[in-house]
Amino acid sequence: MPYNLLSTSKIAKVVGCHPNTVRMYEAWGLLPPVPRAANGYRLYTEDHLDQMRLARTTLNTPWPGKSIRQAGMDLVHQSARGDLGGALENAYRYLVLVQSERNQAEMAAELVSRWAHGFPADTSHHNLHIREAALHLNVTSDQLHNWERNGLLEVPRDPKNGYRLFGAPELARARVIRVLRNAGYSLMAIYRMLNQLDADSSTDIKLALDTPRPDEDVLFATDHWLSTLGEIEIRAREMIKILEEWIKRKGGKGGV
């Protein structure tokens, strides 16, 4: 589809967004400088179209976390400045970053699956008060309180003084929660999975973590983290394809 000079509305139609989005991306510095006609109209070129396709592919996603988001923003700004070769290099790094996050999430789910099938997640045989439990698990007391308040943990009390006592089952469950949180899963996803697991020990852990219930408000990408990372990985490969085709069209020069 050959283009010479394009209008804002044509750019928007090709990439599937509102014309105001194109103007907003220009104002944010996500597009190269746009020349104007004598009448003040913007005159976009194929480079602007490719840049807009790259920016939309990279940024029009559920919130993927700060590190992935920042890496995407950086490479989009890099290509907008004309460094297509550098942007392509960083697009491959972006793909590796996403794959690393996904591998961590997959491994965490696998560890939980082992625990659900009887493999011990903690070997402590002592009852610990909350500060001791926090130190043992390398978390804070506030985190343990938060997990209890949100229904992820139920901690028995010492009948003598009413203090919380973390035994082996509570420590193992808290360790599992910590592993999942560190792997990016939301509290809602973990709560959903644990509830299903408590009701049915044969629960598919990955499916439970990744599948919101019909009555559940999905507020964060981490409520279905595996699916989100899978989608972002597909987009990462599309980003690479856009940049490689763009560089090829320009004769391998690697600049705008």
Question: 3: pLDDT confidence band, cut at 50, 70 and 90?
Answer: very low
Q: Do 119 and 159 lie in a common domain?
A: yes
CATH code (residue 175) = 1.10.1660.10
Number of domains making up the chain = 2
CB hemisphere CA count around 97 (13 angstroms): 18
How is 203-232 classified by DSSP, letter by letter? --HHHHHH---TT----SGGGGHHHHHHHH
- Per the domain annotation, does 149 fall within a domain? yes
Residue 98 is assigned to a structural domain of this protein:
yes
Q: Do residue 170 and residue 245 come from a single domain?
A: no
Percent over 90 (pLDDT), the chain: 78
> 99 and 112 share a domain?
no
- Whether residue 24 contacts residue 65, with contact meaning beta carbons closer than 8 Å, is answered with no
**Are residues 127 and 220 both part of a single domain?**
yes
The span from the CA of 233 to the CA of 243, in Å, is 16
Domain region containing 12: 8-104+231-249
Query: Same domain, yes or no, for 63 and 131?
Result: no
Task: Give the tens place of pLDDT for each residue, 168-219.
Answer: 999 999 999 999 999 999 999 999 999 999 999 999 999 999 999 888 888 8
Q: Are 78 and 138 members of one domain?
A: no
pLDDT attached to residue 216: 85
Cα–Cα nearest to 192, from 183, 179, 204, 174: 204
Query: What is the per-residue pLDDT across 138-147, written as a single tens digit (0 to 9) for each?
Result: 999 999 999 9
Tokens 């491994």 belong to residue: 107
Residue 127 and residue 78 share a domain = no
Nearest CA to 75 out of 62, 60, 86, 65 is that of 86
What is d(CA 100, CA 105) in angstroms, rounded to the nearest whole number?
9
